[in-house]
Amino acid sequence: MRVVVVGGSGNIGTALLRAMAGTFDFDMVGVSRRAPASDVPWHEIDISRADSDVLLRAAFETADAVVHLAWLLQPSRNIPLLARTNVDGSRRVFDAAVASGVRHLVYLSSVGAYSPGPEDRAVDESWPTDGVPSSSYSTQKAAVERMLDLVVAGDPDMTVTRFRPGLVLQHAAASEIQRYFIGGLAPTAVFDLAARAKLRLLPLPSDLKLQFVHADDVADAIVRALRGTVSGAINLAASPPLTARKLARLTGAVHIPMPAGALRALAATSWRLRLQPTEPGWLDLAMSVPEMDTRRALNELGWLPKHSAQEAVTALLRGLAEGAGAPTPPLVPR
């Protein structure tokens, strides 16, 4: 099976290429704006460019499947620039896949596409995906979901699988995550203490609850999907969901309840002053998205994550302490 991976040099892409490299039934091709040093054939294509459609069609010409992972997270202050890759670029990938006769399209959506949900229960894949309005990441993920709906309606013979993972972590993504979300605001010693469960205090909203999943487990789900014909949306997350108290326990800290409004004001001020790169809408998203029910992944794909949520978080913390990365442009070590 010839599989073209768009965004193959990032967090999930590197994990997917690792997973497929250990098999005999995949002929892999990578697509990204900057090609890494790799044994895999690679196309350098910037999907934000209007003329990339021709290049994408050429790359997809003999593909059996296309996996679309590419997503731009920074610069967070330039929303139109992000949209040119995330929304317009996704449209070009989908259009090229249809035009090239690709029979299986896999897209990595996100828990961030979901509308705010209930606090007392998990939701399945039928929950609305209209996003959280104050988060540009969320609204753009929701916009791409609507485009994918049109692809499904326009080409019912194509198998379209969309995954909605929680926060995707791995050791090798640490330097990328620090650049995109943390900046230089937190010293390395803080991550080292957290990784060794020796952090003293963790100020977070008491009602915060997050779902995590290891990148290798997301890659495993994609491989399972490529080998089958499961269509539609599939939630992905490891157990258990981590509350503020559980995160504090994991890092050895005492949880200090902090009002979400106060934390948002701090995030907004530090973002405006360019002290850290994360727009405050990310906190709105974290406080609003529903807990996902992942039973469809098990029932339809036989997927069970090998890493717990705690293991995924600890892997990232160790990577942050070590300045870990990988030999690709997005994941270059600190």
Give 11 or 185, the one with higher predicted confidence. Answer: 11
For residue 80, what are the CA distances in angstroms to 86, 88, 222, 284, 322? 10, 10, 30, 20, 34
Q: Contact at 8 Å (CB) between 218 and 172?
A: no
Average pLDDT over residues 177-194: 94
Any domain includes 228: yes
Query: In degrees rounded to 5, what are phi and psi of residue 322?
Result: -95, -5
Residue-level pLDDT at 38? 86
Quote the mean pLDDT of the chain. Answer: 97
Any domain includes 158: yes
Tokens of 146: 């609507």
Any domain includes 329: no
Q: How far apart are CA 98 and CA 305, in angstroms?
A: 31
Residue-level pLDDT at 151? 97
In the numeric block, the tokens 């003293």 are attached to 200
Q: Contact at 8 Å (CB) between 193 and 201?
A: no
Any domain includes 270: no
Q: How far apart are CA 93 and CA 55, in angstroms?
A: 10
Q: List residues bridging with 235 in a β-sheet.
A: 164
**Which pLDDT band, with edges at 50, 70 and 90, does 185 fall under?**
confident
Q: What is the CATH number of the domain that holds 36?
A: 3.40.50.720
Query: In degrees rounded to 5, what are phi and psi of residue 233?
Result: -90, 145
Any domain includes 232: yes
Q: Contact at 8 Å (CB) between 290 and 125?
A: no
Any domain includes 154: yes
Residue-level pLDDT at 4? 98
Q: Quote the strand ranges of the chain, DSSP E.
A: 2-6, 27-32, 42-44, 65-68, 104-108, 159-165, 167-169, 201-204, 209-210, 212-214, 232-236, 242-243, 254-257
Domain range for 31? 2-170+211-239+290-305
224-264 pLDDT, tens digit per residue, is 999 999 999 999 999 999 999 999 999 999 999 999 999 99
pLDDT > 70 fraction of the chain, expressed in percent and rounded: 100
| Structural domain count, the chain | 1
Largest CA distance in the chain: 56
